[in-house]
Structure 1
Amino acid sequence: MNGRSANGYSHGRSESSMPLLPYADTSPPSSSPSLSAPRYMSYFAQKRRFLLTACLSLSAIVLVALSFTTLATREDSFLVPINSHPESSPQNSTSLAHPVADDAESLEDEYEYSPFVRGPPTQSFRDNLRDDTKYITSWISAGWTNDIMTYTNLVYLATLTDRVPVVGMFTPSHIGGDVPPILFGEVFDVPRFIEESGIPLVEWYEVKDPESGVIDELGCWNVWEAVQYNEHSPRGSVVPSWLKLDISYTKAPNWVKLIPDYPHDMCSSFWSLARLSFPEERAKNIGNPLPSPLNNATLDPDEHMLCFDYLYYACAQQSTDLDHDYSPTWRYVMRYFRWTQRIETITAHYVRQVFGLPEDAEVPPYIAIHVRHGDFSNWCWAAEKPEDCFAPLPVIARRVREVQEELRERKGIDIPMTRVIVTSDEKDPAWWEEVAALGWRTVDHDAAGTAEVFGRWYPVIIDAAIQSGALGFVGTDRSTYSIVSRRRVETWNDGATRTVLWGYKGADDH
C-alpha cells in the first residue's frame, strides 16, 4: 500500500459487476415506540459520562515509539508521513493512547442497560426482548462503507414498521479475517443518534451476552434470492455465527423487487419489505421455510424479531437514492450517525499533525480529497487506453479550485492548497510525488503506526472522519465512500463539494 490510506478496499461495492448503489424510501418515518422520560434520560446521562471519561483517558499516555515513527524521515520521497512537512516540529507532536478497556465491557460497567430491552444481556436473546416492543434485525456482507449503508437501511425500515432496530457489529471483511469485529457503538455515538433522530436503536451485544453458548433458532426472510438470479440461496454473512443464531430462511415473494424481472438492478423497495412485517401480508407469504443449518429447524419468519438476510439493496425510488437530496435514508437516519467523541479526538490529533500544528491549536478549515482507483479499473471498458480511465491530478486540482472559490464566495473563507488532505488507494509512487508537488498533504498510516496503536480498523475510520470534518470535499464518482463523505460535509458542515467523473479520457471535462 506504499504507506498510503488503508481504506481503498472499502470505498465502493465489493461486487464490481453489480449496480452501483441501493438505498431508501420517500415517506416520512412513523413514530417510534414510546419511552418513559426518566429512564430514557438516565440512559443518556450515564453513557455520555462514560464517553467523556474514555475520551479524557486517551491523552494520559504518550507513545514514544509512535512519535519517533511519525517524525521519522522516510527514504521514499513520495511518502508524506504525519509531521514530515517543514512547518512541523517535534515539540508539536503528541500521541494518543490505546483505549484502556474493551468498549463492550466498559459500557456494560458504566451505564444502565438499554431501555429497549428487559435488562442486561441474556444467554438467549429472546429472554431480553420486551413484550410491549417489536424488533427488526439484519446482517451485513460487504465493505465497511456499504455495511454502514446496510445498517442505515435497517434502521429506516424499522421506522416504517414501528420496530426497534437491533444492530450488529461491523465485520472485518476488508481488513482481514483475523481482526475481531468492532462494535457499532465504538464507531458511532448511539446515545446521540437516538437523542437527535428520535429513533430507538439497540446493539446486539446489549440484547444477547457475547459470551453466551446458547444457540438461538430464528426464522428470517430471504430477500437476496428474490432480487437477483445468480445465487439460489440467502445472502451469506458471518454475523449470525458470531451471535450464535441458527437461521431458517423463507424466500421473500418476488414482488419485493423494485424492477420486476430486471437482472441488472437488485433493489427491493422499503415499502414492499415493510408489508412483510404486518400480520396479513406475512400470513399470505409464509410457508416452506428452509431448514436451519445447525438444528435443522424449520421456522416461519419471526414476528417478535423481524429478520431479513440482507438489506443493502433496499431503496426508495431508485438504486442511487443516497446520491440525491431526496434520500430518506440520509435525511432521517445516516445524517445522525455521528462519530464517537473518542474518534473525533483522535481525528483532530491526526489533522493537527498533518498540518504541523500544536496539539492545543484549533483545527483549521481544510479541504479533503478522496481518490478511488484500485478495483475501479474493472470498470474502464469505455477508455481506449488504461491510462485514460481515471481523471489526472490536474483535473482533480480544478475541482479543488472550484471548491475554494465557492467557499470564498459563500463563506468568505480562503483555504490554501497547503490545507488539502488526500486519501487514496493509489499505489504508484509517481502519482504521490505529483500530489506532494501540489502542496497537498496526506496521512501515512504506515509511518504513523495507526494500526499498531489503535487497531487495524482505525486507518479506514480515521480517513472517513478526516473527510467528514472538512469544509470542502472532492470525491470520486460511483464510490460509496465518496458519496457518504460528500453528504456528511454538505450536511454537517454546510461545506462545498464536487465529484470527479471518470471511466474514459476527458470524462470530467466541463
Structure 2
Amino acid sequence: MDRQDAYDDPETPFIPTFRIKLQPTKRKKPSPGTICAALAGISLLSFGFLLLKPLSHLDTQDAPSYSAAFNSQPYVQGPPTQRFRDNLRNNTKYITSWTSAGWTNDVMTYGNLIYLALITERIPIIAKFLSSHIDPSEPPFAFGEIIDVPRLSQAIGIPVLEWHEVKDPESQVLDDIGCWSVWESVENYKEDPRPRESPTIDRLKLDISWTRTPDWVKLTPPGIIDDHASFWSLATLAFPQGRSDNLGLSNHPSPQHQVSLPPDDQLLCFDFLYFIGAQQPWEWESDYSPAWRFVGQHMRWNASVERLADAHARRAMNVPVNEPTPPYISIHVRHGDFGDQCRSVPLDQCFASLSIIARRVSEVQEELRTQKGIEVTQVIMTSDELDPEWWSGVRALGWTWVDYATERTAEIYGKWHPVFIDAIIQSNGAGFVGTRGSTMSNLARRRVQSWHNGPTRIVQWGRPGADDH
C-alpha cells in the first residue's frame, strides 16, 4: 500500500449532545466530630474494599491527582472576545494550527502542534474537531470534550487553551492575521502548490495572509517525494532571528480584505501540521517518536466519554452490573477504502482472513498469560466492515462487538460517538490487534502499550501470505 494514501483515515460518524449536570443539594455543615468519624469509617471501608473487590485491568489507568478545574484565566485577558487578539496577553506568546484529515489524524495533528508548542515555549490554542469524513453538516466537537485537558496540561507542564476560550464562537468579526504555509513548501514537487485550507478557518472568522515557509523545512531530501516537514526547522520560525531571516518569502494576500501581512509573532500559526517529524516520516509509529512520548501518550480520554465507552463494552460482553469490567483483547480491522490499495488482488486474498487475525489474538492471549498471569477470553472487534457474513464469522470465533444500531448510540449521543467509543474500547484492551497502515490502529497500539503495558500485534495484508510468520 502507498503510505501517502494511508494518511486520510476516515472513520465512522460521531458528535455528542449529551451532558451530565450534577445538581447541588443543600446540607447541614457537619461537626468536627462527625467529620473525624466519617473519615475513619471511610478509611476502614476503603481498606476492606481494596481487599475484597475483584481486580479490573482498567485499574492500571487510574489518573494521578490533578486540578480537575483547569483555569485558563491566567493565559488570556478574560472571557472570549469578539476579536481574538483582544484576549491575548501582551507578555505571552501562542501557537495554533488547523486540521483537515479525519479525526484520528486530527488527534495526531494536535499532538504535533502541542509538541511544537513545547519546544518553542508557547501556549497552544486548539480548535474544535470537524466531522470532515463523517457528516460535514455535524457541529464541531471541542477538544476538551474528548481529551482530558487538565490532565494533559499537568503531564506536559504547559497550559493548553481552546479557541472557544479565546474568541467568542458566535463572533462575526473577521480577524486579519499572517500565518506560515508549510503545505506549499513540502508539496513543492507539485505544480503551483497552495496553502492547506481548513473549514475551521472560516468558522473562526480568520482572514489569513499566507507566507510560504522556506523549502529547508522539508524533512526529507529535495529529491524524495514526501510531505513531511521537520519539527525543529519549523521551530526556528518561532524565534526572532529565524522569523526575520525569512520574512521576504512568497506571500499571499488575505482572501477577504486583500491585505498582505507577515507571519504573526504573538500568535504563531501554520496551515497544517499532520506531516511533521523529528528524524523520519510517519514517526508516530516509532518508539522514539517525540510527539508521542512528550504529548500523545498524555492525551487521555475525558472521563465522561470513557465511562460511556466502558458501559458499551460491558453490555457487549454481557457483564453483570455488580462485576468489574473484565480484561479483554481489542481488535481494529480496517477494510473500507483500503480495498482500493488491493489493486488486482481479490479482496478475499488481499485482506487478512479472520483465521489470521485469530492467530494474532492467540499470540496476545499467550503473552498475557505468560507475562502477566492473566487469562483473557473476552475479545471485542471494532471494524468498518459491512459484510454480514464476515460478522457472522466474528461471532463464530466467540468474539463480540458493540451493536451501535441496537444501542441507538448515534441517535442518542450523536453521530461521532461510535468513533469515540471504538477508539476508547481499542485503547482500553489488555492487549490489542490492529491493521497495518491504519492510523487508528497505530494510536490504539501505542495507547495499549503505554497505558496498560499490554502486548500488541499489527496484522499485515495486501497479498496472500502477507502475515505469514
- TM-score range normalised by the length of the shorter chain: 0.7 to 0.9
TM-score, normalised relative to structure 1: 0.78
Q: Mean alpha-carbon deviation: is it higher for 145-154 or for 283-292?
A: 283-292
Deviations 1:98-140 (A, max 9, x none): xxxxxxxxxxxx9854332121111111111111110000010
When residues 290 and 19 of structure 1 are mapped into structure 2, their CA distance, relative to the original with a 3 A threshold, is same
Are positions 1:135 and 2:114 aligned together? no
Q: Which of 314, 329, 332 matches 2:291?
A: 329
Residues 223, 234 of structure 1: 8 Å contact kept: yes
Q: Which of 256, 259, 277 matches 2:238?
A: 277
Are positions 1:315 and 2:281 aligned together? no
Specify the code of the residue in structure 2 equivalent to 1:467.
Q
Are positions 1:253 and 2:204 aligned together? no
Alpha-carbon shift at residue 57 of structure 1 (Å): 4.9
Are positions 1:398 and 2:359 aligned together? yes
- Runs of 4+ aligned structure 1 residues displaced above 4 Å come to 19-22, 54-58, 110-113
Deviations 1:12-45 (A, max 9, x none): x9xx7726469xxxxxxxxxxxxxxxxxxxxxxx
Residues 220, 280 of structure 2: 8 Å contact kept: no
Deviations 1:448-504 (A, max 9, x none): 111111111101001000111110100001110000000000100111111100111
Matched position secondary structure for 1:191: helix
CA distance, structure 1, for counterparts of residue 345 and residue 175 of structure 2: 54
CA distance, structure 2, for counterparts of residue 316 and residue 222 of structure 1: 19
Are positions 1:480 and 2:439 aligned together? yes
Q: Give the gaps of 5 or more residues in structure 1.
A: 1-12, 23-53, 59-109
Q: Which of 175, 191, 203 matches 1:242?
A: 203
When residues 346 and 134 of structure 1 are mapped into structure 2, their CA distance, relative to the original with a 3 A threshold, is same
Specify the code of the residue in structure 2 equivalent to 1:273.
L
When residues 20 and 318 of structure 1 are mapped into structure 2, their CA distance, relative to the original with a 3 A threshold, is farther
Specify the code of the residue in structure 1 equivalent to 2:132.
S
Residues 72, 159 of structure 2: 8 Å contact kept: no
Are positions 1:454 and 2:413 aligned together? yes
Are positions 1:363 and 2:322 aligned together? no
Specify the code of the residue in structure 1 equivalent to 2:285.
D
Deviations 1:194-232 (A, max 9, x none): 112213210000011111121111100011010013362
CA distance, structure 1, for counterparts of residue 404 and residue 178 of structure 2: 43
Specify the code of the residue in structure 2 equivalent to 1:500.
V
Residues paired across the two proteins, number: 411
Q: Which residue of structure 1 aligns with residue 302 of structure 2?
A: 340
Residues 136, 164 of structure 1: 8 Å contact kept: yes
Matched position secondary structure for 1:318: coil
Are positions 1:265 and 2:251 aligned together? no
Alpha-carbon shift at residue 384 of structure 1 (Å): 4.0
CA distance, structure 1, for counterparts of residue 155 and residue 246 of structure 2: 36
Matched position secondary structure for 2:461: coil
CA distance, structure 2, for counterparts of residue 385 and residue 421 of structure 1: 27
Deviations 1:284-329 (A, max 9, x none): 1113421101111110000000000000001111112111110111
Q: Which residue of structure 1 aligns with residue 404 of structure 2?
A: 445
CA distance, structure 2, for counterparts of residue 468 and residue 258 of structure 1: 30
Matched position secondary structure for 1:126: helix
Specify the code of the residue in structure 1 equivalent to 2:99.
I
Residues 329, 379 of structure 2: 8 Å contact kept: yes
Larger RCO (CA within 8 A; separation ≥ 6): 1
CA distance, structure 2, for counterparts of residue 431 and residue 233 of structure 1: 43
Specify the code of the residue in structure 1 equivalent to 2:107.
I
Residues 193, 338 of structure 1: 8 Å contact kept: yes
Specify the code of the residue in structure 2 equivalent to 1:311.
L
CA distance, structure 2, for counterparts of residue 384 and residue 482 of structure 1: 23
Alpha-carbon shift at residue 441 of structure 1 (Å): 0.2
Q: Which residue of structure 2 aligns with residue 186 of structure 1?
A: 145
Write the mapping of 1:145-156 to structure 2, written as runs, cut at 5 A: 145-156=104-115
CA distance, structure 2, for counterparts of residue 263 and residue 122 of structure 1: 45
CA distance, structure 2, for counterparts of residue 178 and residue 361 of structure 1: 40
CA distance, structure 1, for counterparts of residue 398 and residue 4 of structure 2: 37
Matched position secondary structure for 1:115: helix
Residues 19, 265 of structure 1: 8 Å contact kept: no
Residues 84, 175 of structure 2: 8 Å contact kept: yes
CA distance, structure 2, for counterparts of residue 141 and residue 393 of structure 1: 33
Alpha-carbon shift at residue 157 of structure 1 (Å): 0.5
Write the mapping of 1:206-217 to structure 2, written as runs, cut at 5 A: 206-217=165-176
Q: Which residue of structure 2 aligns with residue 224 of structure 1?
A: 183
Specify the code of the residue in structure 1 equivalent to 2:275.
Y
Matched position secondary structure for 1:420: strand
When residues 323 and 113 of structure 1 are mapped into structure 2, their CA distance, relative to the original with a 3 A threshold, is closer
Q: Which residue of structure 2 aligns with residue 162 of structure 1?
A: 121
Q: Which residue of structure 2 aligns with residue 432 of structure 1?
A: 391
CA distance, structure 2, for counterparts of residue 462 and residue 164 of structure 1: 29
Q: Mean alpha-carbon deviation: is it higher for 492-501 or for 227-236?
A: 227-236
Q: Which residue of structure 2 aligns with residue 32 of structure 1?
A: none
Q: CA RMSD in A?
A: 1.9
Specify the code of the residue in structure 2 equivalent to 1:236.
E
Matched position secondary structure for 2:124: strand
Alpha-carbon shift at residue 263 of structure 1 (Å): 4.9
Residues 20, 320 of structure 1: 8 Å contact kept: no
Alpha-carbon shift at residue 280 of structure 1 (Å): 1.1
Residues 270, 316 of structure 1: 8 Å contact kept: yes
CA distance, structure 1, for counterparts of residue 21 and residue 203 of structure 2: 32
Matched position secondary structure for 1:18: helix
Write the mapping of 1:30-109 to structure 2, written as runs, cut at 5 A: 57=22
TM-score, normalised relative to structure 2: 0.85
Q: Which residue of structure 2 aligns with residue 61 of structure 1?
A: none
Specify the code of the residue in structure 2 equivalent to 1:413.
I
Q: Give the gaps of 5 or more residues in structure 2.
A: 9-18, 24-68
Residues 316, 403 of structure 2: 8 Å contact kept: no
Specify the code of the residue in structure 1 equivalent to 2:207.
D
Q: Which residue of structure 1 aligns with residue 159 of structure 2?
A: 200
When residues 341 and 17 of structure 1 are mapped into structure 2, their CA distance, relative to the original with a 3 A threshold, is closer
Specify the code of the residue in structure 1 equivalent to 2:4.
M
